[in-house]
Amino acid sequence: MLKSAYVEEVFTLRAGDRVELLGWVRNVRQHGKLVFLDLRDSTGVVQVTVKTGVADEEAVKTASTLGREASVKVVGRVVEDRRAPGGREILCERLEVVGRAYGEYPIKPGVGPRFLYDNRHLYLRSPKVSAIMKIRSAMVEAARRWFIEHGFTEIHCPTFITAAVEGGATLFEVNYFGRKAYLTQSVQFYQEAAIYGLEKVFSIQPSFRAEKSKTRRHLTEFWHIEAEMAFTELPELLETVEQLISYMVVETVEKRKREFTELGRRFNVEVVEPPFERIKYEEALNILESKGVTISWGEDLGADEERILTEQFDKPFFVTHYPKEAKAFYHMPDPSNPRVTLSADLLAPKGYGEIVGGGQRIHDYKLLIQRIEEENLNPQDYRWYLDLRKYGTIPHSGFGLGVERLLQWILNLRNIRSACLFPRTRQRIYP
């Protein structure tokens, strides 16, 4: 069964044109011998009128008995009617049931979020979720296009790892044929290996973090856009990040105008026009202190602190030069102030918080061993990672971007779960 036309095409055809549609019944209304079907597919909704004299009696009878979400084939002609949504409808000549709906469709107006996530496999059919997923797809496509146009090579890295990139407390442990392994939190180390041959690389794949956070911004499985660049220091890294973010957002808003409208979301692309403001960690602490929030030097910014800090900004901004205590061992210490690192987080404004984290990596072999030992880690666990510094080491930098977090911000989503097809959190692994 080959689909020959989509609903959105109905509104570009001439009145009287014959069309064959395949889709799902969103609603059925009967008025005497007239039956109205709201037929949806992945591109939109169109009204179908089934009436005696145009369609046979059996078609009218069948239409009146269709349940919500039954799948059908409709053959008919395009008719102009100002009363119909979009000013067009299909006058049905032939109706064929592809798949009946058995029982009452469970997704109804007024059901709560928990019910919708328990039935996510059905709720995905809603126009809202479809719009979000199309916007997400456009955003990832834009990222991939930007990287390729700027000379990056896409690589695919392992999901199973043996040593932590980030904190060990947030690793998912896996029994790997009798050996202890973990699900990756980041493909950074593998990207660092790849740049010695490819120079500029990127990956788009899932990462896993066993964080116990129950905030509206945390997932245990999320999609990660990561990149690593040879011969790159912190200033060039920040320029790369802001150019990428700007391109991704502008392209997505432009290509998915209809979906933004369906979601009632208007996004001003001027807020992602580079350059983004840069403030140092110390300045961030001063801003927080002025708002009555005190953080000890060396502590990372938590979700609450990020929310308060970002409420003071209207555009994305970088927080740079975090203390060593707040960042992973591989971040390069600032030569002018070894207490801090050449690191940066990009925070979205209005309370949305971190969407990108990155920095310059330590490329000196001895310094990297020193930092590993300072963190009470075993250098043997990082043997191959250390090898990279033994043969032609170079300054290099990289970053990771959370797809769902960026999407949550540009769509003003209350909960990050809405940015996922099937979200995974501490409480949810079904469906």
Say which CATH architecture domain 118-419 belongs to.
Answer: 2-Layer Sandwich (3.30)
**Which residue spans of the chain are classified as CATH 3.30.930.10?**
118-419
**Residue whose pair of structure tokens reads 């802001």 in the numeric block:** 242
Q: What is the DSSP string of 131-145?
A: HHHHHHHHHHHHHHH
Work out the average pLDDT over 260-270: 98
Provide the pLDDT for residue 245.
99
Torsion, Cα 51 54 60 62, to 10 degrees, reads -140
How does DSSP classify residue 301?
A: P
CA distance 431 to 419: 16
pLDDT grade, residue 4 (50/70/90)?
confident
> 211-222: per-residue pLDDT in tens?
888 889 999 999
HSE-up of 336 (CA within 13 Å, CB side)? 2
Check whether 169 has a pLDDT greater than 80.
Answer: no
Work out the average pLDDT over 286-312: 96
Pairing of strands 200-208, 153-154: parallel
Provide the pLDDT for residue 214.
80
Average pLDDT across the chain, whole number: 96
pLDDT grade, residue 8 (50/70/90)?
very high
Can you point out the beta strands (E) in 177-332? 179-183, 200-208, 221-230, 277-280, 317-320
Contact (Cβ atoms closer than 8 angstroms) between residue 45 and residue 85: yes
Instruction: Work out the percent of the chain whose per-residue pLDDT is above 70.
Output: 100
**Which residue spans of the chain are classified as CATH 2.40.50.140?**
7-99
> 350-389: per-residue pLDDT in tens?
999 999 999 999 999 999 999 999 999 999 999 999 999 9
Check whether 261 has a pLDDT greater than 90.
Answer: yes
> 228-249: per-residue pLDDT in tens?
999 999 999 999 999 999 999 9
Work out the average pLDDT over 95-110: 96
Provide the pLDDT for residue 21.
98
Provide the pLDDT for residue 57.
92
Assigned token pair, 334: 């600032």
Assigned token pair, 338: 């070894």
CATH of the structural domain 7-99, one choice from 2.40.50.140, 3.30.470.20, 3.40.50.300, 3.40.920.10? 2.40.50.140
